[in-house]
Structure 1
Amino acid sequence: MTYILPPLNALRAFEAAARHLSFKLAAHELHVTPAAVGQQVKALEARLGVRLFERLHKQLILTAAGQAYLPAISEGFRHIAEATSQLRPSGAVLLQLGVHGSVDLRRLELAEFRSAHPDIGLRVLQPAGLHELVEGKVDLLIARGLGHHPGYRCDRLNDGSGLGDWLVAPEGTADCPEVVSFREWLRAFLADNPRTNHRRPRLVGISGR
Structure 2
Amino acid sequence: MTYALPPLNALRAFEAAARHLSFKLAAHELHVTPAAVGQQVKALEARLGVQLFERLHKQLILTAAGQAYLPGVSEGFRHIAEATSQLKPEGVVLLQLGVHASFDLRRLDLAAFRSAHAEIGLRVLQPAGLHELVEGKVDLLIARSLGHHPGYRCDRVTEGTGLGDWLIAPEGTVDCPEIVSFREWLRTVMDERARASRRPRLVGGVGS
| Conserved? CA contact 1:18–1:62, under 8 Å | no
Q: Distance in 2 between matches of 1:155 and 1:71?
A: 33
| Conserved? CA contact 2:95–2:178, under 8 Å | yes
After superposition, the Cα gap between the structure-2 partners of 1:70 and 1:134, relative to the gap in structure 1 and judged at 3 Å, is closer
Q: Which residue of 2 aligns with 1:140?
A: 140
**TM-score normalised to structure 2 length:** 0.65
How far residue 101 of structure 1 moved from its aligned partner, in angstroms, is: 0.9
How far residue 97 of structure 1 moved from its aligned partner, in angstroms, is: 1.9
| Conserved? CA contact 2:147–2:166, under 8 Å | no
Matched residue SS, 2:197: coil
Matches within 5 A, 1:77-156: 77-84=77-84, 87-88=87-88, 92-106=92-106, 108-133=108-133, 137-145=137-145, 148-149=147-148, 151=150, 152-156=153-157
Residue type of the alignment partner of 1:105: L
For the pair 1:59 / 2:56, whether they are aligned, the reply is no
User: CA offsets per residue over residues 111-164 of structure 1, 9 Å max, x none?
Assistant: 33233223333332211234544565444322234x53254433142x544243
Residue type of the alignment partner of 2:63: L
Matched residue SS, 1:102: coil
Q: Which residue of 2 aligns with 1:184?
A: 184
What is the total number of aligned residue pairs between the two structures?
Answer: 193
How far residue 96 of structure 1 moved from its aligned partner, in angstroms, is: 2.9
Q: Distance in 1 between matches of 2:124 and 2:74?
A: 31
| Conserved? CA contact 2:156–2:167, under 8 Å | yes
Q: Distance in 1 between matches of 2:160 and 2:75?
A: 49
Q: Distance in 1 between matches of 2:185 and 2:48?
A: 48
Match of 1:200 among 187, 197, 201: 197
After superposition, the Cα gap between the structure-2 partners of 1:39 and 1:104, relative to the gap in structure 1 and judged at 3 Å, is same
After superposition, the Cα gap between the structure-2 partners of 1:69 and 1:162, relative to the gap in structure 1 and judged at 3 Å, is closer
How far residue 39 of structure 1 moved from its aligned partner, in angstroms, is: 3.5
How far residue 99 of structure 1 moved from its aligned partner, in angstroms, is: 0.8
Matched residue SS, 2:156: strand
Larger radius of gyration: 2
Paired-residue identity, % = 74
Q: Which residue of 2 aligns with 1:9?
A: 9
Residue type of the alignment partner of 1:5: L
| Conserved? CA contact 1:24–1:33, under 8 Å | no
**TM-score normalised to structure 1 length:** 0.65
Matched residue SS, 1:166: strand
Q: Which residue of 2 aligns with 1:42?
A: 42
Q: Distance in 1 between matches of 2:144 and 2:70?
A: 40
Q: Which residue of 1 aligns with 2:206?
A: none
User: CA offsets per residue over residues 6-60 of structure 1, 9 Å max, x none?
Assistant: 22232233234445544466567x5545725434322322443443222123131
After superposition, the Cα gap between the structure-2 partners of 1:112 and 1:69, relative to the gap in structure 1 and judged at 3 Å, is same
How far residue 177 of structure 1 moved from its aligned partner, in angstroms, is: 3.5
After superposition, the Cα gap between the structure-2 partners of 1:87 and 1:134, relative to the gap in structure 1 and judged at 3 Å, is closer
Q: Which residue of 2 aligns with 1:207?
A: none
After superposition, the Cα gap between the structure-2 partners of 1:130 and 1:19, relative to the gap in structure 1 and judged at 3 Å, is closer
Matched residue SS, 2:124: strand
